[in-house]
Amino acid sequence: MKISESQLESKLLKDKPNVFIILGEEPIRIQELANKIYHSLAERDFITRDSYLVTQKMDWAFLSESEENMDLFSNKKIIEIKMIDQGPGNKGSKTIKDYLSKSNEDALLVLVEGLDKRSKSSAWVKTIENKGIMIDLQPLTGKSLYSWLGDKASKLGIDINQDAYDLMLEKTEGNLMAASQELKKLSLLFPKEEISLEKMEQSISNSSKYSIFDFSKAFVNKDKSKCLKILEHLRVEGTPETLVLWSVAREVTNLYKIKSSGTTKGVWGPSFYISSLEKSSKNTDKRVIESCIKKIALIDSSIKGQSKNNPWIEIKDLTLEFIG
């Protein structure tokens, strides 16, 4: 069943679905909906979560193995699949259909960023939609964008005027995750206050020497010394590991798309950014990109506390592997 974002809460309470697919362009909004689903499933005794970052050519055996390994004493779990291609491919599509054709106690959550219009009409998407809940998040623009930001600001106890919002969006280049982090910083600098243009300028001028965008640029350009310098600065400044990993995942995902298709179709951003990605993709072995994809999933598990590994060390190691 296809529903809107606003309908999710009532559907979770009333229908208690186990199967979900969330599509969208902005990772933070996809993750926010996923978190609502996780919270609802936790109340229904879904204890563990297995996360997979997958491409079309990867082995989909994990889904059938999950079903085979179930027994009467197993905890109900959530199988989270983050897809970075325009679909799971023939093998993955068949695996999903076979899995959903049987009765399963586990919950299945598929998250896809940047799926094009044609792929949204694919049989595998329809299969998930018919078995559970589908939400296709549309990009936030105009009033809906300011409403989203205003809701975030309100929850943090701050009020921001229009000019200040405009400056923040300009500096964060419309990136919602970066804008969200900026709001959190403002709430610490000016708790329970109205944020004027002057205060926004002060906050931005007090920002760290390096930003997450500087790291992304250095990563794509394979600037080893700059990457390590910025990464350490972000760590010391207390930048959330999730934001840094999102940055890495975004670049690696886009590089994988370009390397696989031979074109930049479906990759969004300014022309200079696309040019940098094209150059980097030509200088990077596809096996290195695929290895990074696997490691991103492991780092995500570390951030979620599912392993004792240090996410910062893992991100540094991944960066060094990518640069070579």
Q: Are residues 131 and 158 in the same domain?
A: no
Q: Note whether 11 and 120 are same-domain residues.
A: yes
Beta bridge pairs of residue 112? 23, 83
Counted domains in the chain:
3
Taking 3-state DSSP, the helix, strand and coil percentages for the chain, each rounded to the nearest 5, stand at: 60, 10, 30
How does the average pLDDT of the chain come out, rounded? 86
Q: What is the per-residue pLDDT across 54-98, written as a single tens digit (0 to 9) for each?
A: 877 777 888 877 665 555 456 788 999 888 777 888 888 988 998
Answer yes or no: do 72 and 193 share one domain: no
Q: At which residue do the structure tokens 């109900």 appear?
A: 76
229 lies in the same domain as 185: no
Last residue of a domain, one of 118, 136, 154: 136
Cα separations in angstroms, 159 against 140, 183, 315 = 20, 10, 35
Query: Do 95 and 116 reside in the same domain of the chain?
Result: yes
CATH classification at residue 190: 1.10.8.60
Per the structure, the complete domain to which residue 171 belongs is given by 142-205
The span from the CA of 140 to the CA of 150, in Å, is: 13
| CATH number of the domain within which 9 lies | 3.40.50.300
83 with 186, same domain: the answer is: no
Say whether both 104 and 87 belong to one domain.
yes
pLDDT digits (tens, 9 = 90+) for 298-312: 898 888 777 889 999
Are 237 and 294 contained in the same domain? yes
Same domain, 158 and 252: no
Q: What is the DSSP letter of 163?
A: H
Looking at residue 207, what is its pLDDT?
Answer: 61
One domain for residues 165 and 234: no
Residue 246: give its domain's CATH number: 1.20.272.10
Instruction: Report pLDDT digits (tens) over 154-166.
Output: 999 999 999 999 9
- Give me the count of residues in the chain: 324
pTM: 0.76
The DSSP element (H or E) to which 212 belongs, if any, is helix 212-220
